[in-house]
């Protein structure tokens, strides 16, 4: 992929980036799978909102994207019968 950096600070930055990318990917996969499961009816709307908000809080997604996803989630969620 990239050549190994020579400067110490660049080596440390590369290691940090690898860890952060893995951490962010976990949050990204979680909110995407929750939205998919919401379509099927396997997850509740509250769970979807929670995972989307966590991703936004950790700055994995933009807060406005989180708002759009929550609006989409409320439209695709199976309606509860009262």
User: Does some domain include residue 43?
Assistant: yes
Of the candidates 42, 35, 24, which has an alpha carbon nearest to the alpha carbon of residue 69?
35
Hey, what's the torsion of the CAs at 37, 38, 44, 48, to 10 degrees? 90
Residue 1: exposed, middle, or buried by beta-carbon count in 10 A (0-12, 13-18, 19+)? exposed
The predicted structure's pLDDT at residue 41: 85
Within a domain: 4 = no
What is the pLDDT at residue 56?
96
pTM (2 decimals)? 0.79
State the total domains in the chain: 1
Among 43, 30, 52, smallest CA distance to 76 is for 43
Q: Is residue 5 part of a domain?
A: no
Note the pLDDT tens digit of each residue in 33-70: 999 999 888 888 999 999 999 999 999 999 999 999 99
Q: 3-class SS at 66?
A: helix
């Amino acid at each position: 992929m990239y050549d190994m950096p020579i400067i110490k600070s660049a080596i440390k930055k590369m290691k940090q980036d690898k860890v952060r990318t893995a951490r962010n990917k976990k949050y990204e996969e979680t909110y995407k799978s929750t939205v998919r499961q919401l379509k099927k009816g396997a997850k509740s709307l509250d769970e979807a909102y929670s995972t989307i908000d966590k991703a936004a809080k950790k700055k994995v997604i933009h807060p406005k994207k989180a708002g759009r996803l929550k609006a989409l989630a409320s439209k695709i969620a199976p309606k509860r019968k009262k």
